[in-house]
Amino acid sequence: MRDGYRFRLIRVVDRLPDFIAPAGLTGTVTIAAGEIWARMDQPIRGAEPWNNELHWESRAQFLFDTEPCE
């Protein structure tokens, strides 16, 4: 995993109470140093305060929710 890695969500990512990111969205990893942050290509209602980025606490969690974009 590295910055710039492109991926697709393969399942719903629940970040309640703030938002839910539906499966199928694509994005790009912006930070891959322990925690993973990624900016999504499609706008997610409710994710505006986080600049439309998702966060995972570990690489394992990220890999569970995503697949590589080709």
Element (H, E) at 28: strand 26-33
The DSSP secondary-structure symbol of 31 reads E
pLDDT in tens for each of the 70 residues of the chain? 799 999 999 999 999 899 999 999 999 999 999 899 999 999 999 999 999 999 999 999 999 999 999 7
3-state class of 63 per DSSP?
helix
User: Model-level pTM?
Assistant: 0.93
Q: What is the pLDDT of residue 1?
A: 75
